[in-house]
Amino acid sequence: MKYTTLPNTNIKVSKLCLGSMTWGNQNTEAEGHAQLDYALDQGVNFIDTAELYPVPATAEMSGRTSKIIGTWLQKTGHRDKVIIASKIAGPGDYTAHIRKTGFSPNAIKEAIDLELKRLQTDYIDLYQLHWPERNTNRFGVRNYKYDSNWEDNFNEILHSLDTQIKAGKIRNIGISNENSWGTMRYLEESKNHNLPKIMTIQNAYSLLTRTFETDMAEVSLRENVGLLAYSPMAFGVLSGKYIKGNAADNARLKLFPRFARYSGEQATEGVKQYLKIAEDNNMTLAQMALAFVNQQSFVTSTIIGATNLAQLKENIDSIHVSLNEEVLSQINEVHNLMPNPAP
């Protein structure tokens, strides 16, 4: 395994982070525990969860994923061996079953207290805002529409998180599904008011979605805010299993076809071309896709997810794959022909 540190800290994290959002729905507790055991044996010490998980989000299943991590921590006693990241859900119709108060001080306190109970731990290493409160381009929305009804509360949010840091409940903070303006506003408030700095941003980044490179990459590198890249496999599309027709019956897009963000005509054509590059260079598409993300200078850790141990092994093994300049050039040729075919 390869390691780095969370920006602006001395916390060592693996370059691959174990995602968990299928546990409690597509995966049982036993399967989640088996993934945790295997990942830790391979040197993965970074785990990402959220109060919303598993996905799709429902009132019945909300919080199950973190409970599975909690029972594993209680059973194994491995809390000191792992770095745990979690998230508070932003407002929206699909999170009304969790709460309707956004990132108010009481909401942040409640969310952290409940998550600590589920995880069976006294602290969370990295606590993230799952998506902005304001209406902005998130989850693949391309065209920005201005909303004048939102009231700026960056300062209040940072004060609330600072209170939780001082209470010892969380150690560091991050954001997710954010853009450059929101990121810079958080940084501005932390600099001007001696408030905690955001250490990471968790956004989608893959061969099919490289929009992070347009402006956020510069923010990331100049401001030292590391990307935790999610969906590097584009919901499994970049394994090639859907265009090859060998996806299992419990594959994500077979179970939940509405998650079609990476399945459009252009994205599918992109996958075909990337698959050819991988096969011509004696790699699986999954390992090439993950290696591409792993090599980016602005990426702190790549969040991998799997529904079985065979997938998890292939994903973790990608850490040993290094793409040479020729392969990178071939990838960029495809990207130049069809930039960001998935939002």
Q: What is the pLDDT of residue 250?
A: 61
Task: Provide, rounded to the nearest whole percent, the portion of the chain with pLDDT above 90.
Answer: 83
Q: What is the pLDDT of residue 248?
A: 66
Given 3, 53, 186, 274, the catalytic residue:
53
State the average pLDDT over residues 240-252.
69
> Annotated catalytic, 53?
yes
Q: Fill in the DSSP letter of residue 239.
A: G
Q: What is the pLDDT of residue 300?
A: 98
Annotated domain spans of the chain: 3-236+297-322
> How many angstroms separate the Cα of 93 from the Cα of each of 38, 40, 247?
36, 36, 31
Q: What is the pLDDT of residue 146?
A: 86
In whole angstroms, give the CA distance from residue 147 to residue 57: 26
- Find tokens 């990241």 and name the residue: 85
Q: Which residues fall within 8 angstroms of residue 332, CB to CB, at 6 or more apart?
A: none
- List, for residues 284-343, the tens digit of each pLDDT value: 999 999 999 999 999 999 999 999 999 999 999 999 999 999 999 999 999 999 999 987
Hey, how many other C-beta atoms are within 10 angstroms of the C-beta on 145? 8
In whole angstroms, give the CA distance from residue 88 to residue 104: 11
Least confident of 120-129, 135-144, 160-169, 283-292: 135-144
Q: What is the pLDDT of residue 251?
A: 63
In whole angstroms, give the CA distance from residue 81 to residue 281: 36
Q: What is the pLDDT of residue 285?
A: 96
Residue 254: pLDDT over 60: no
Q: What is the pLDDT of residue 209?
A: 96
- List, for residues 58-70, the tens digit of each pLDDT value: 999 999 999 999 9
In whole angstroms, give the CA distance from residue 307 to residue 20: 9
- List, for residues 169-201, the tens digit of each pLDDT value: 999 999 999 999 999 999 999 999 999 999 999
In whole angstroms, give the CA distance from residue 272 to residue 73: 41
Q: What is the pLDDT of residue 94?
A: 81
* 3-236+297-322 homologous superfamily: NADP-dependent oxidoreductase domain (3.20.20.100)
In whole angstroms, give the CA distance from residue 321 to residue 302: 14
- E strand or H helix that includes residue 75: helix 64-76
Q: What is the pLDDT of residue 35?
A: 98
